[in-house]
């Protein structure tokens, strides 16, 4: 018998690593997480990935996913269209400690991103033929594929975790923040008293029924936070209020005192099944 009940409160896809999220009503589960999530990435001249840590303005690049292409918009820029079925030259790029094959998206995209970000950069797409695996240490030996995510296919956060943080922020005289700062894929909402604030810390497996069968996810590793939650997704302004607040109560002994918020997850079952906002699910507690 499952111990915890929830509903899927929100779904987010982040097509370009470290650019704005796309809230979606439904998302296709694929081997690497949600379809199109972290399928593209911005790299420097050496092919090393770039993020809001170095370039907070990346938060202002907003994708729209359409049937045949992705449209990118940013302040002061004409829209850029990226076709799903077109790539250019093969290349190799580095994301954290992994150097992987990818495809350069061409000079037009490179110029657009370089103009907006103020330095020479290029846009690349993950090579779907390559298998980039999560750490087997954390997955218990299960092979979990990623595209350009930091290290795991999915990030799961509870709505009540954000509510708890915002209570603490407002008590410190700071404005509340939105979920987009934490870049989750799934946001779980409580439907009764079984899912508490930061309840994701204690969950093992999620099961979410769909028309095609269940989607089963396993929560495997707490997500240690860097400076990105302190980048305002609406303005790209940086601060330290979020990190300061998390330091007061989210130092995680499992991660050597790192500040954690949310849980990384892998797909156990459900590839080619549609997750929908509002879907009810159950989870069992980790012992």
Q: What are phi and psi of 134, to 5 degrees?
A: -65, 165
Mean pLDDT of 213-224: 98
DSSP E strand stretches across 44-144: 62-65, 69-73, 80-83, 90-95, 98-104, 122-126, 132-133
238-257 pLDDT per residue, tens: 999 999 999 999 999 999 99
Encoded tokens for 223:
């997500």
44-103 pLDDT per residue, tens: 999 999 999 999 999 999 999 999 999 999 999 999 999 999 999 999 999 999 999 999
pLDDT of residue 56: 98
Q: Which residue has the tokens 């929560």?
A: 219
The CA–CA distances, whole Å, from 272 to 90, 145, 188, 245, 269 equal 27, 15, 21, 39, 10
111-121 pLDDT per residue, tens: 999 999 999 99
pLDDT of residue 1: 44
pTM score, two decimals?
0.96
pLDDT, the chain, mean: 96
Encoded tokens for 21:
């999220």
Contact indicator for 197, 168 with CB cutoff of 8 Å: no
pLDDT at 226 over 80: yes
């Amino acid at each position: 018998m499952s111990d915890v009940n929830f509903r899927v409160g929100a779904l987010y896809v982040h097509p370009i690593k470290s650019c704005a999220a796309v809230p979606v009503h439904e998302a296709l589960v694929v081997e690497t997480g949600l379809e199109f999530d972290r399928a593209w990435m911005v790299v420097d001249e050496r092919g090393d990935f770039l993020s809001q840590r170095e370039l907070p303005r990346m938060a202002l690049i907003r994708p729209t996913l359409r049937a045949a292409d992705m449209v990118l918009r940013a302040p002061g820029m004409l829209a850029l269209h990226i076709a799903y079925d077109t790539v250019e030259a093969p290349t190799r790029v580095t994301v954290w400690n992994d150097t992987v094959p990818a495809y350069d998206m061409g000079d037009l995209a490179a110029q657009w991103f370089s103009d907006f970000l103020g330095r020479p950069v290029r846009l690349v797409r993950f090579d779907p033929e390559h298998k980039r695996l999560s750490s087997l240490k954390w997955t218990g030996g299960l092979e979990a594929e990623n595209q350009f995510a930091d290290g795991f296919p999915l990030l799961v956060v509870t709505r009540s975790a954000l509510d708890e943080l915002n209570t603490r922020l407002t008590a410190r005289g700071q404005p509340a923040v939105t979920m987009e700062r934490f870049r989750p894929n799934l946001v779980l909402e409580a439907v009764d008293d079984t899912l508490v604030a930061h309840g994701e810390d204690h969950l093992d497996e999620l099961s979410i029924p769909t028309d095609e069968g269940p989607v089963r996810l396993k929560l495997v590793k707490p997500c240690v936070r860097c400076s990105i939650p302190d980048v305002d997704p609406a303005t790209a302004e940086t601060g330290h209020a979020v990190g300061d607040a998390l330091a007061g109560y989210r130092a995680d002994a499992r991660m050597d005192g790192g500040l954690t918020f949310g849980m990384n997850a892998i797909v156990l079952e459900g590839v080619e099944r549609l997750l929908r906002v509002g879907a009810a699910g159950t989870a069992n507690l980790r012992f």
